Amino acid sequence: MEAPYGLRKIEAKLIDSGFDVKTVYPDYIDRFNPKVIGIYVMDPFGWGPSSTTFAGILKTGEPYLAKYFRLLFESSSYKKAKQGGAKTIVGGPGVWQFKLNQEFMDKYGIDCVIDGEGEYGKVLEIFVDALKGEELPRFVNLKPWECPKLEEISEIKNPSINGLIEVGRGCPRGCKFCSVTLRPLRWYSYEKIEKELKINASAGITSGVIHAEDILLYGQKGIIPNEEKVLKLNRLAKMYYKTLSWSHASFAAVAAKPKLIEECSETICDENQSWWGAEMGIETGSVRLAKKIMPAKARPFKAEEWPEVVVQGAGIMKDNHLIPACTLITGLPEETDNDVIKTIELMDELKDFPSLIVPLFFVPMGKLKERDWFKKEQMNDLQKELLIKCLQHDIRWAKEIGKIYFSEGLRDQFIKPLYFLFIKIIEWQGKRQKVLVN
């Protein structure tokens, strides 16, 4: 069985620390009579920027993610396990949402929410206390420096969803709205990475994702990619996976090393895949805002060059079959109408760039965590125009990407019509809400 990578990571650390751990399908929790239930969350209430933004303009109801997360706690399996006295501990990148929904914790008996890297010693102590039946702290917020050293991070012991494996943690760019950047930068050795690749490959996984905040900075302390290290990493992953993608990379690193992207394309694209994907942050088209909130995002170029870096990076990616899913943020503190106009202008320049561009509402995190949330009710006409532009761009490119994404295999031939039906529904909903024209 494949499980989320974050869950596999904490499972591995607990096993290595002598705990008896089972990762189970939510409906089977009670069968194991657990003393502690550990739950991993990405976006438990559908408040993650990507869930809320399109839902905001399309006026859909309770987010899908929120509904199924709630149903987990309402399942007879969870209820029975709780009646048996199990403590519930929640971790994962979406835990910030619980601070704003403590009634949910009370309602469903969530004892402890941990924000930080789970391999840290303090987290293991909480699991020990939970096993002893002691009262747990409601919230544990690990400081940025309270994180495991490389050698304290266990390798996964069981396969991960999407064949995802991490190759490093942390990011040197220091964007103010991001919490990742506060933690130290650590890169895994090739040996450590290979052990995890082998776990997935031996479970029959042939398609996978290598994860870091910027794959192109693999092995580096700074912001200049090292060609040799990046190519070696990709060759290693391709030894185990027929098809490979990257979790994240940066426009700046792409623009800084076009030759490297060409070589990565030659390494990754073959008879099994004609393109590969990555998630990339554009965030804004405004130089003024970029200088304020993400001054190092463009490096080694100047922050003043940010929009050109994005356009140049887009051209390099298009030439080399790297199709990214990009993010934009609107509603950032101090964002002016002129900043939104600059982002809309950048969107115009990117209209022929094969990509998905997802607009996100500002969520207070990182150094901006004390600032106010941006709510959809605050959206002005310019911000709506930006969102609509993104939606139009995404519908056009989702159709194109769909044509090359699905193989001739039986499974894909079954899923393909559903994928196109999904796009049609979004299009229909967009027209109904009068945000898309016929």
Residues of this chain that interact with ligand SF4 (CB under 6 A) are: 171, 173-175, 178, 180-181, 213, 250, 281, 294, 297
**Residue with Cβ nearer ligand SF4 (171 or 316):** 171
**Residue with Cβ nearer ligand SF4 (301 or 420):** 301
In the complex, minimum distance from the CB of residue 137 to ligand SF4, in angstroms, rounded to a whole number: 27
**Residue with Cβ nearer ligand SF4 (294 or 332):** 294
SS (H, E, C) the chain: CCECHHHHHHHHHHHHCCCCCCCCCHHHHHHHCCCEEEEECCCCCCCCHHHHHHHHHHCCCCCHHHHHHHHHHHCHHHHHHHHCCCEEEEECCCHHHHHHCHHHHHHHCCCEEEECCCCCHHHHHHHHHHHCCCCCCCEEECCCCCCCCHHHCCCCCCCEHHHCEECEECCCCCCCCCCHHHCCCEECCHHHHHHHHHHHHHCCCCEEEEECCCHHHCCCCCCCCCHHHHHHHHHHHHHHCCEEEECECCHHHHHHCHHHHHHHHHHHCCCCCCCEEEEEEEECCCHHHHHHHCCCCCCCCCHHHHHHHHHHHHHHHHHHCEEEEEEEEECCCCCCHHHHHHHHHHHHHCCCCCCEEEEEECCCCHHHCCCCCCCHHHCCHHHHHHHHHHHHHHHHHHHHHHHHHCCCCHHHHHHHHHHHHHHHHHHHHHHHCCCCCC
In the complex, minimum distance from the CB of residue 181 to ligand SF4, in angstroms, rounded to a whole number: 3
In the complex, minimum distance from the CB of residue 303 to ligand SF4, in angstroms, rounded to a whole number: 12
In the complex, minimum distance from the CB of residue 273 to ligand SF4, in angstroms, rounded to a whole number: 25
In the complex, minimum distance from the CB of residue 46 to ligand SF4, in angstroms, rounded to a whole number: 21
In the complex, minimum distance from the CB of residue 213 to ligand SF4, in angstroms, rounded to a whole number: 4
In the complex, minimum distance from the CB of residue 223 to ligand SF4, in angstroms, rounded to a whole number: 9
**Residue with Cβ nearer ligand SF4 (213 or 335):** 213
**Residue with Cβ nearer ligand SF4 (78 or 306):** 306
**Residue with Cβ nearer ligand SF4 (57 or 290):** 290
**Residue with Cβ nearer ligand SF4 (113 or 294):** 294
